[in-house]
Copies of this chain bind each other. A is one copy, B any other.
Amino acid sequence: MKLDLSLYVLIDPDQTFGFDPVALARAAASGGATVIQLRDKGGAIRRTIALAAALKAALAPMGVPLLVNDRVDIAAAAGADGVHLGQDDIEPALARRLLGPRAIIGQTVKSAAHVAAVPLGAVDYVAVGGVFATLSKTNPDPPLGLGGLAARIAELRARKAALPIAAIAGIDAANAGSVIAAGADGVALISAIAKASDPAAAAAAVRRAVDRARETAP
């Protein structure tokens, strides 16, 4: 499945603010989300598999890939399109071995050391973050800011020019353009859409900000 990081929306069933997670994902996709990730840290595994399968079924007709946070086994069980791996998760190379060459595998990086360690042969994209302060996740260290984001992107580009890069944490329609201007290919977010009264409209607003910033980028 073609990978477009323009608007990468995370669905956390414990942070849907009253929405059904599948309805929320569908709304995000209809508003222009290009990737959906299921992040279900607290769920019993069979609940997570069922939810991932339901998301995959909802998103497949819309042509939007579904990734699963952390768990290769859940991704495989649900027929998801791939996994997103944090620095404390399993090695991307192992995920690649288990999921095969067609899976989409992404990894989060925050520090220069993380960038240096990215296994370029095993990952399809990188998420850089946390860029701004976020309410959706407890991040122990300070946000990177736009300067830190640009530095990580430069380090990644120095290693491999073509790898797509998403920025994550604290991004919304108001600051999405600045993130794209800093060099990111797209934005990853959760609460800017889940907390909106109209998630499809909220997704469309962020997507417009991304597209507009990209048009005006040098």
B49 contacts A77, C-beta separation under 8 Å: no
Instruction: Specify which of B44, B46, B88, B94 is in contact with A73 (CB 8 Å cutoff).
Output: B94
Q: Which residues of B contact A90 (CB under 8 A)?
A: 45, 49, 73-74, 77
Least CB distance from A155 to B in Å reads 23
Q: Which residues of B contact A91 (CB under 8 A)?
A: 77
On chain A, the number of residues with a Cβ less than 8 Å from chain B's Cβ atoms is: 19
Q: Which residues of B contact A77 (CB under 8 A)?
A: 90-91, 94
A199 to B143, CA, bound (A): 49
- Ordered nearest first, which 9 A-B pairs have the shortest CB separation? A72-B73, A77-B94, A73-B90, A77-B90, A98-B98, A73-B73, A76-B98, A46-B88, A76-B94
A66 to B88, CA, bound (A): 23
Q: Which residues of B contact A89 (CB under 8 A)?
A: 45
A43 to B91, CA, bound (A): 17
A interface, over-half SS: helix
A137 on interface, CB distance cutoff 8 Å: no
A71-B73, A72-B98, A77-B91 given. 16 additional CB < 8 A pairs? A44-B88, A45-B70, A45-B88, A45-B89, A45-B90, A72-B72, A72-B73, A73-B73, A73-B94, A73-B98, A74-B90, A76-B97, A76-B98, A77-B90, A77-B94, A98-B98
Stoichiometry, copies per complex: 2
Q: Name the residue among A46, A74, A77, A91 with the largest chain B CB count within 10 angstroms.
A: A77
Least CB distance from A96 to B in Å reads 11
Q: Which residues of B contact A73 (CB under 8 A)?
A: 71-73, 90, 94-95, 98
Q: Which residues of B contact A44 (CB under 8 A)?
A: 88
Measured CB to CB, the nearest residue on chain B to A86 is B45
Measured CB to CB, the nearest residue on chain B to A49 is B90
Measured CB to CB, the nearest residue on chain B to A98 is B98
A214 to B90, CA, bound (A): 42
Q: Name the residue among A71, A72, A73, A91 with the largest chain B CB count within 10 angstroms.
A: A73
